[in-house]
Amino acid sequence: MTASASVRSLPSEWAPQSGVMLTWPHSQSDWAANLTAVEQVYLDLARVICRHEKLLVVCYDAAHQQHIHAQLQTHVDLAQVVFTLQPSNDSWARDHGPITVLKQNQPLLLDFQFNGWGGKYAHDLDNQITTGLHTAGIFGNTPLDRIDLILEGGSIDSDGEGSLLTTRACLCHPGRNPHLSITDIENQLKQLLGVERILWLEHGWLAGDDTDSHIDMLARFCDARTIAYTACDDAEDEHYPELSAMHAELTAMTQHNGQAYELVALPLPQAMHTRQGHRLPASYANFLIINEAVLVPQYGDPADAIALQRLTTCFPEREVIGINCRAVIEQFGSLHCLTMQLPAGVLNVS
């Protein structure tokens, strides 16, 4: 074990949580044309989350908070909701929210830099959200470190036991940290996150994914021995070469004890397209683990039921719940991308 790993650790998503963060969509964002449909997804998410833990809702301004409050009061127990004001460019909390590590078994928030997925989109407001929430006291006495490294939460996945799963295409993209080599990035991640080893995927890609292959669209830990991954069995599909190569890489990876991972294939839904004809990156790997439940994207596709059934086998002690994400995928992300879990001890609920 490295010296940093003995001090810090990156919890798995299935570790106990104090809440889930949602940055609510608003009319000043790219959601404007489809806001009603997207807000229904948020209401569905809120309803399930509030049954299991607290919900942190980041509102654009006071009028936006009043609007959200009026919607939520007929869907959830408002005692479960923490509202806060912080303007945002967009609503992908996974990538602008805090990443929590444990330092000597106490939570520490890391505020990595966010640059709009390599400078593709406006991000000036999003990059200030975590610091703003901390200054407002939302996280109580939990300390926060602001980190110069550009890193998005959707680009990494932890088994909670020192292994980090990620993709070279994203973390080594020249739009993020061009001055750093892969060795530099690996060393920083080990030091900052307290991980012992990084499992790099060289392959894995979805058409329409503008994150440069975030791991949470491709492969996810379900426990320290099991990885669920996006699979393609159709040799005529454009994804077949990359996803087949990714499967081969996952097959060759081993756990800490040297044994192979148990791999669970999640099907690709049928091709979905924007009005302009561009394929959308629909993925069932973009599920969210919360206390006692797992929320799984659904797209109105025959493969929805297959994904639910396979993930139910991965999480036998949790309720597996489908959430209709067809409206969300229009902006190239899904359920996990919208959310950021806050481990136990982080959210100030007093």
Q: In angstroms, rounded to a whole number, what is the distance separating the alpha carbons of residues 270 and 258?
A: 36
> What are all long-range contacts of 66-75, with beta carbons under 8 Å and residues at least 24 apart?
68/24, 71/39, 71/43, 72/43, 72/46, 75/43, 75/46, 75/47
Which are the catalytic amino acids? 337
The per-residue pLDDT for range 141-170, each reduced to its tens digit, is: 999 999 999 999 999 999 999 999 999 999
The per-residue pLDDT for range 161-220, each reduced to its tens digit, is: 999 999 999 999 999 999 999 999 999 999 999 999 999 999 999 999 999 999 999 999
Tell me: pLDDT of 1 over 50: no
pLDDT of residue 235: 97
Domain 3-343 sits in CATH 2.60.40.10: no
The pair of structure tokens assigned to 43 is 């209401």
Say whether pTM exceeds 0.85: yes
Element (H, E) at 223: strand 219-223
Contact between residue 350 and residue 24 where contact means Cβ atoms under 8 Å apart: no
Per-residue HEC secondary structure of 120-176 comes to CCCCCCHHHHHHHHHHCCCCCCCCEEEEEEECCHHHEEECCCCEEEEEHHHHCCCCC
Q: What residues does each domain of the chain span?
A: 3-343
The pair of structure tokens assigned to 173 is 């993209």
Half-sphere exposure of 341 (CA within 13 A, CB side): 27
Q: In angstroms, rounded to a whole number, what is the distance separating the alpha carbons of residues 64 and 256?
A: 47
Q: Any residues with CB less than 8 A from the CB of 347 and at least 6 apart, and which? A: 18, 19, 54, 56, 82, 138, 139, 140
